[in-house]
């Protein structure tokens, strides 16, 4: 019976995933630990609006479980010592320097995590890779744990020997729907060699997941499947975005094309919404990792094929930025543009790799003044995302959509926040400079009603 779980990494995956396990397994005590004191403070905040991660449904579970069987702490040693199972949920971003820079995953956080586990491990522990990792990372973790199996323990006393098994259990949640995805997953993937440990991990999930949805594979298939799942999803977005440009040139309409092709069950109707390109911390990083792995194994055609998905994504963002300029009489210098949405998708406060960053950067460099409004993103996050551009004084953080649009020449809808649908667009039109433009990169607002108000409207994938 698993009694104690430790999750290392209290981020977008560690926090929500452990919250859902805690809710469904009241008999298991869970410690979520992190080196980031501020993050842990925020998880422990009495004001649930201050949790570090915004996800619909998360606050309710934290309210129910925190302080009972779910604890957030910086005491990594204690968490590891007590654990029967350790989930590694630390970040694995793309390497910025050195060998493989720009492609390979930076595994320094994984390594430091493995070293912490090696140091504090007690008895037999199942170490679970929850982070997304390059294939064969389990071998690295095993090497680190193997080499320090006896450190800190009495080697003469066999009962104090530290033993472990490594299991891969990648996470497939999408931000914005994380709680629902965790509560009702399409599948749970468990990869490993040790049947006993696999069954222990499976038992945790069986508390709320249909056993038929639990897929067991070997370690390497599990690690690779996670990268491939993200690559396939991202590929669909680049595919539909490439066609959006063709629609704009030919008179076809992207939503009609999406509907027509999506009606074919073999294609399916999900993930066919054209937009400003995919953002988020996962797709780009995981494809680049796949590209790196393919090159490493000498499979250059495979690498080139997948890299094109990332290239099209950037191209779509550049395309949107340049057509904004084109439509605003070829210049945005001294013009005010209101950016609606900074998170990479709706229902999350996460801004990592948000298309808004790239598009804003280009507009700021063209001399535009930008105002940002996002229902969940804080000013400090925008400061952080734009810190490498010389644009101080050229952008403003706004608390409402109307404040952002006051006197603006254009509104750019870059994130599909539900509340944008409820804006009184006729009132917004009245406070903008004319001609007033809407650039709807998500086909989110009814363009005919906007045109009737008097707006000039551009929507992605429409002539
Ligand atoms: P994150 O940056 O939000 O959280 C990672 C946390 O790990 C941070 O709070 C960091 O302080 C902590 N950390 C790093 N090293 C540590 C150490 N040695 N000891 C203790 N804490 C440490 O990252 P995330 O978005 O939660 O992603 C985590 C992993 O899950 C990544 O591999 C990612 O690719 C994968 N993943 C993410 C998502 C997603 O939607 N965000 C979905 C599926 C999988
Ligand atoms: C993704 C995967 O979906 C998830 O399974 C994995 O665990 C982590 O990576 P996430 O990045 O959180 O999740 O969100 P997702 O819903 O996949 O959206 C990613 C990006 O694609 C967003 O910028 C979104 O706006 C964009 N997108 C998505 C589109 O542009 N069109 C679509 O049809 C779907």
Instruction: Encode pLDDT of 417-454 as tens digits.
Output: 999 999 999 999 999 999 999 999 999 999 999 999 99
- Please tell me the distance between residue 38's alpha carbon and the centre of ligand 2 in angstroms: 27
Continuous H helices in 67-168: 76-82, 108-120, 137-147
- Please tell me the distance between residue 112's alpha carbon and the centre of ligand 1 in angstroms: 13
The pair of structure tokens assigned to 382 is 């925008």
User: Which pLDDT belongs to residue 13?
Assistant: 98
Nearest CA residue ID for atom 1, ligand 2: 174
CA distance 215 to 219: 12
User: Which pLDDT belongs to residue 190?
Assistant: 98
Whether 398 has a pLDDT exceeding 70, the answer reads yes
User: Which pLDDT belongs to residue 155?
Assistant: 44
Nearest CA residue ID for atom 32, ligand 1: 131
Give the range among 18-27, 160-169, 378-387, 428-437 with minimum mean pLDDT: 160-169
Peptide bond into 435 cis (omega under 30): yes
Please tell me if the CB atom of residue 11 comes closer than 6 angstroms to any atom of ligand 1: yes
Q: Tell me the DSSP string of 20-48.
A: HHHHH-TTSEEEEE-S-HHHHHHHT-SSG
Please tell me if the CB atom of residue 12 comes closer than 6 angstroms to any atom of ligand 2: no
Catalytic residue among 25, 113, 282, 398: 282
Which helix (H) or strand (E) segment is 55 a member of?
none
pLDDT one-digit tens code per residue, 258-282: 999 999 999 999 999 999 999 999 9
- Using the atom order of ligand 2, give the atom closest to the CA of residue 241: 30
CA distance 452 to 299: 54
Distances (CA, A) of 416 to 94, 217, 373: 27, 37, 12
Question: In degrees to the nearest 10, what's the CA dihedral of 119, 122, 123, 129?
Answer: -60
Please tell me if the CB atom of residue 14 comes closer than 6 angstroms to any atom of ligand 1: yes
pLDDT one-digit tens code per residue, 205-234: 999 999 999 999 999 999 999 999 999 999
- Using the atom order of ligand 2, give the atom closest to the CA of residue 350: 12
pLDDT one-digit tens code per residue, 141-170: 999 998 876 544 444 454 567 899 999 999
pLDDT one-digit tens code per residue, 36-77: 999 999 999 999 999 999 999 999 999 999 999 999 999 999
- Please tell me the distance between residue 304's alpha carbon and the centre of ligand 2 in angstroms: 22
Please tell me if the CB atom of residue 354 comes closer than 6 angstroms to any atom of ligand 1: no
Query: Is position 113 annotated as part of the catalytic site?
Result: no
Calculate Rg over the CA atoms of the chain: 24
CA distance 130 to 172: 10
pLDDT one-digit tens code per residue, 307-354: 999 999 999 999 999 999 999 999 999 999 999 999 999 999 999 999
pLDDT one-digit tens code per residue, 92-112: 999 999 999 999 999 999 999
CA distance 184 to 360: 36
Q: What percent of the chain has pLDDT over 90?
A: 94
Please tell me if the CB atom of residue 39 comes closer than 6 angstroms to any atom of ligand 1: yes
CA distance 166 to 237: 34
Please tell me if the CB atom of residue 13 comes closer than 6 angstroms to any atom of ligand 1: yes
For 166, phi and psi rounded to 5 degrees?
-110, 130
- Please tell me the distance between residue 222's alpha carbon and the centre of ligand 1 in angstroms: 18
Q: What is the per-residue burial (b if ≥16 Cβ within 10 Å, else e) of 241-251?
A: bbbbbebbeee
- What average pLDDT does the chain have? 95
User: Which pLDDT belongs to residue 150?
Assistant: 53
Please tell me if the CB atom of residue 280 comes closer than 6 angstroms to any atom of ligand 2: yes
Mean pLDDT confidence for 5-22? 98
Nearest CA residue ID for atom 9, ligand 2: 282
The pair of structure tokens assigned to 182 is 């965790």
CA distance 62 to 438: 39
pTM (two decimals): 0.96
Nearest to 90, CA basis, from 192, 7, 179, 17 = 7
Whether 1 has a pLDDT exceeding 90, the answer reads no
- Which stretches of 279-421 are assigned E, i.e. beta strand? 336-340, 369-373, 395-397, 410-413
Mutate to test the pocket of ligand 1, among 18, 73, 80, 91 (most ligand atoms within 8 A of CB): 91
Nearest CA residue ID for atom 13, ligand 2: 174
The pair of structure tokens assigned to 10 is 């209290």
Please tell me if the CB atom of residue 278 comes closer than 6 angstroms to any atom of ligand 2: yes
Neighbours of 302 (CB within 10 A): 15
- Using the atom order of ligand 1, give the atom closest to the CA of residue 286: 34
């Amino acid at each position: 019976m698993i009694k104690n779980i430790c999750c290392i990494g209290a981020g977008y995956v560690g926090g929500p995933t452990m919250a859902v396990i805690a809710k469904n397994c009241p008999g298991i005590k869970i410690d979520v630990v992190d080196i980031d004191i501020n993050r842990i403070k925020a998880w422990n905040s009495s004001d649930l609006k201050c949790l570090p991660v915004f996800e619909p449904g998360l606050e309710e579970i934290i309210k129910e479980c925190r302080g009972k069987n779910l604890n957030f702490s910086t005491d990594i040693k204690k968490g590891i010592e007590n654990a029967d199972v350790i989930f590694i949920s630390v970040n694995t971003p793309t390497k910025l320097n050195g060998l493989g820079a720009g492609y390979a995953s930076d595994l320094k956080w994984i390594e430091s995590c493995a070293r912490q586990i090696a140091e504090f491990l007690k008895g037999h522990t199942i170490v679970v890779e929850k982070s997304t990792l390059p294939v064969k990372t389990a071998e690295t973790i095993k090497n680190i744990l193997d080499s320090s199996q006896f450190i800190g323990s009495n080697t003469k006393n066999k009962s104090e020997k530290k033993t472990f098994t490594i299991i891969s259990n990648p996470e497939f949640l999408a931000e914005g729907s994380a709680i629902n995805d965790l509560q009702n997953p399409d599948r749970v993937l468990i990869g490993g060699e040790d049947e006993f440990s696999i069954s222990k991990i499976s038992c945790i999930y069986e508390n709320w997941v249909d056993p038929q949805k639990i897929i067991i594979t070997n370690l390497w298939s599990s690690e690779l499947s996670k990268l491939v799942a993200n690559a396939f999803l991202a590929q669909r977005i680049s595919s539909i975005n490439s066609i959006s440009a063709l629609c704009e040139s030919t008179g076809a309409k992207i939503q009609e094309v999406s509907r027509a092709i999506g009606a074919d069950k073999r294609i399916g109707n999900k993930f066919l919404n054209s937009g400003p390109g995919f953002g988020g911390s996962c797709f780009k990083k995981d494809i680049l990792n796949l590209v790196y792995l393919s090159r490493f194994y000498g499979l250059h055609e495979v690498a080139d094929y997948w890299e094109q998905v990332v290239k099209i994504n950037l191209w779509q963002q550049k395309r949107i930025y340049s057509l904004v300029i084109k439509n605003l009489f070829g210049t945005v210098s001294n013009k005010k543009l209101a950016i609606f949405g900074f998170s990479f998708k709706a229902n999350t406060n996460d801004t990592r790799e948000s298309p808004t960053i790239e598009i804003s950067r280009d507009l700021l460099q063209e001399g535009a003044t930008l105002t940002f409004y996002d229902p969940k993103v804080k000013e400090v996050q925008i400061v952080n995302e734009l810190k490498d551009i010389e644009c101080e004084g050229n952008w403003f953080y706004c608390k409402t959509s109307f404040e952002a649009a006051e006197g603006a020449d254009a509104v750019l809808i870059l994130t599909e926040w539900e509340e944008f649908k409820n804006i009184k667009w006729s009132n917004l039109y009245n406070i903008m400079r004319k001609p007033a433009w809407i650039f709807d990169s998500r086909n989110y607002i009814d363009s005919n009603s906007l045109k009737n108000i008097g707006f000039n409207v551009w929507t992605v994938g429409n002539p």
